[in-house]
């Protein structure tokens, strides 16, 4: 069976078992398979084939910019490797076409004094910033996309665990943290108490052990 037919067969099987979209709460019927996290989040698009949900085309398309934003931001690392740099350049070109407003927001700090002020802010919050590191702006447009991505991830985890749509009386809570937040204290202690056996997602691998000091 060819790759295209294999994907079609897998999508048909999933939709037959779960006919409703898990992102809009069953308002629409599922027509696609949605992967979470998206393959663009992983180096060289190497993604474990997990967290696959039935989704309608509207939800699938409607969250593509959130996927793109998260995939780009996850590669903002001063010590990035060759593959990460290559993936980042490719994703930036996609953002130029798909989300130019995000690129404009990220590059608002054009003045050298503003960039230095941003570096001081990070250093004051415990984040080490090399002198030649670039600085970008995370503004309301980016925050909106990151919030959407975070809640999409929570819904994906809900489906993975319960295999049913979140009821209309249910609620989801998703939180993402900045480098300043993690520099202060790492993963929040109250969250660790709720999830004592939590795992993390690292490039191409699931359930990485938490290394705590």
Question: Hey, which of 77-81, 91-95, 162-166 has the most confident mean pLDDT?
Answer: 91-95
Report whether pLDDT(26) > 50. yes
Confidence tier at 189 by pLDDT (50, 70, 90): confident
Number of domains comprising the chain: 1
Comparing CA positions, the residue from 144, 175, 171 lying closest to residue 158 is 171
Residue 185 maps to a domain: no
Cα-based torsion angle of the residue sequence 64, 69, 75, 78 in order, rounded to the nearest 10 degrees: 170
What are the two backbone dihedrals, phi and then psi, of residue 29, each rounded to the nearest 5 degrees?
A: -75, 150
Residue 106 maps to a domain: yes
List all residues 6 or more positions away from 151 whose beta carbon is below 8 Å from its beta carbon: 172, 174
Q: Which residue has the tokens 């570096």?
A: 119
Residue 12 maps to a domain: yes
Percent of the chain with pLDDT strictly greater than 70 = 82
Residue 44 maps to a domain: yes
Can you give the residue range of the structural domain that contains 52? Answer: 8-165
The reported pTM is 0.81
Distance CA 66, CA 14 (A): 24
Backbone φ/ψ region at 136: left (φ over 0), alpha (ψ -120 to 50), beta: beta
Question: Hey, which of 110-114, 175-179, 182-186 has the most confident mean pLDDT?
Answer: 110-114
Residue 29 maps to a domain: yes
Residue 184 maps to a domain: no
């Amino acid at each position: 069976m060819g790759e295209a037919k294999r994907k079609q067969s897998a999508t048909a099987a999933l939709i037959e078992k779960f006919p409703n979209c898990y992102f809009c709460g069953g308002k629409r019927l599922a027509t696609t398979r949605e992967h979470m996290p998206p393959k663009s989040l992983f180096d060289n698009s190497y993604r474990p084939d997990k967290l696959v949900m039935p989704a309608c085309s509207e939800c699938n398309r409607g969250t593509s910019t959130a996927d793109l934003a998260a995939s780009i931001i996850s590669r903002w690392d001063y010590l990035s490797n060759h593959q990460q740099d290559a993936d980042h350049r490719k994703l930036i070109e996609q953002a130029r076409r798909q989300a130019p407003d995000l690129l404009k927001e990220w590059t608002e700090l054009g003045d050298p004094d503003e960039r230095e002020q941003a570096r001081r802010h990070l250093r004051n919050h415990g984040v080490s910033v090399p002198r030649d590191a670039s600085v970008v702006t995370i503004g309301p447009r980016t925050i909106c996309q990151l919030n959407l991505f975070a809640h999409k991830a929570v819904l994906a985890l809900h489906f993975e665990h319960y295999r049913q749509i979140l009821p209309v009386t249910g609620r989801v809570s998703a939180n993402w943290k900045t480098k300043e937040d993690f520099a202060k204290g790492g993963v929040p202690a109250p969250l660790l108490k709720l999830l004592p056996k939590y795992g993390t997602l690292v490039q191409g691998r699931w359930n990485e052990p938490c290394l705590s000091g």
